[in-house]
Structure 1
Amino acid sequence: MRRASTLVFLVVTLVLMGVSVTARAEFPLTILKTRHLSAEVIAPKLAPLVSPGGRVSGINDTLLIRTDAANLVELRAALEAIDRPAQRLRIRVRSALDARETHRDLGVGGELGNDDVRIRLPDTPDRRNTEIQIGSARIGGSVGSSSLRQGGEQFVDTLDGGRASLFLGTSVPLPFRQVFIRPDGTRVVRGTTYRDVGSGVIAEPEVHGSRVRVVISPERSQMDARGRAQVFRLETEVEGRLGEWMPVGGAEQTTDDRGIEIGRTSNASRASGAVFWLRVDPLDSP
């Protein structure tokens, strides 16, 4: 009985192997060379067009295809349409920065009191534009504001499906000081690092007919009055028509500083924001 079962199993296995061999024989291997794009890029685009039971793979500039003759004709036509020189594109990024700052100071200096008690308040730095003096006491205050508007446009050329990056700005020196406490004493290290301040963008465009999809990360930075870097950075994906400006986004930042000292109080508020637009233009003639 066992021998009979084993024999049946072997027969079924051989039949299935024969069917597999026959099926593979129906789909011979075809090797095609690509001209412009890599086979790794083209193979996933051809895969949905392959007949059931067939397959396509690629390495470097070589496509390996197993399919029937009729489907192979379709794949050749699709390959002809896909394997074209990558279109040259120009990516333009427009940015605008708006910063505002206001400050208020109020201080009292001189001597205050009577015959029994007198209080002497130290003078604060002369930042007041209004001052009232009563005897030996002085009361002063100031209110001021400033604004800054900057705009710019950068562009970079790349290929459809490629990756482009561009940064324009300056390197700002930033001194630093580090203190290390060790068993044998204290060590102080001083030095200078540099930070790039300006505007830049990283973009990856992909064209579909008359429309384009772009993964983009624009950045704009500046140094504030205290020597700190203010950075505005976005990372998003936008889609629109070729040759048209597309809004990418913006960023806003507000700060409010308050200070109280003996004989003086101050308040400063700052607000800044940046907005970005994007446009992609084809450079190759249609």
Structure 2
Amino acid sequence: MKFLVLACLLFGLAAPGPQVLADEMELIELQHRPASELIPLLEPLLPQQAALTGRGFQLVVRAPKADIARIRKLVAQLDSAPRDLLVTVFQGSERDLQRSGAALGLSYRRGGVAAGLGTAADGQAGAGGADGAAADLSLAHTRRRSTDEPVQRLRVREGATAYIETGRSIPYFSGGIWQQGGDTWVQPGIQYKDTATGFYVRPLVRGDRVVVDISPYREALAPGDGGVIDTRRASSRVTGRLGEWMELGGSRTQRRTASRSYGAMTSTRERGDSRLWIRVDPATRATEKAR
């Protein structure tokens, strides 16, 4: 069976084609990485006359004789044993990241967006009274656990997939509002939904550069009543240097609210800048830096 597979690979490369004018064919045995992982990395580097195929831990190259040695050298560089890596994720604004420094020992910024699952405090409800008056309902505050940190680190083997999760508890109104005898009544009721926002990461090292496949996973409170959770998934890829912060994305918000209750009026203005950054280091070097 193994001979049959190899024969099929060789026959596929040997078939004539108008753009393949190679004069030598060579079988390369791989030691650490399968052909399916190396072929996408090698193809952009091959000369125009070369062709490449493979299966399992075997590569078959058809190329001009002068290019075979160079291709073998490229394969040797890429066919390395997977390394242990340290993936660091920072959640906050660019200013927070600069203020914390590029070192792994980032400090906690009180009031910033923190990684980890938060715990919300009790909310507070109020009601209006006279005929035709609108009922006001406001949440007093929410609170995160004191153990939350804006930085997460995890150790992962190169080529393996790991999951990083962040999240928070979101309050929503679960009481009731009704009118009776010309008055508007509000029955207090606040519940909380834990929403998870995370992503899967799969890092691959290419020399001094790293390619990270990202598959985000997001839960959010859906519009309307009942605390329904929406879930979204997507995928992307980022590339950068080892030890360099890479921005995955984020959001900037500006919100202004006003409320009136018992003759008093309050106005609040909020601005937010929440971004997600990722950094990949060789585990040994990164561990030494963190000490």
Q: Give the structure with higher Rg (CA).
A: 1
Relative to the length of structure 2, the TM-score reads 0.49
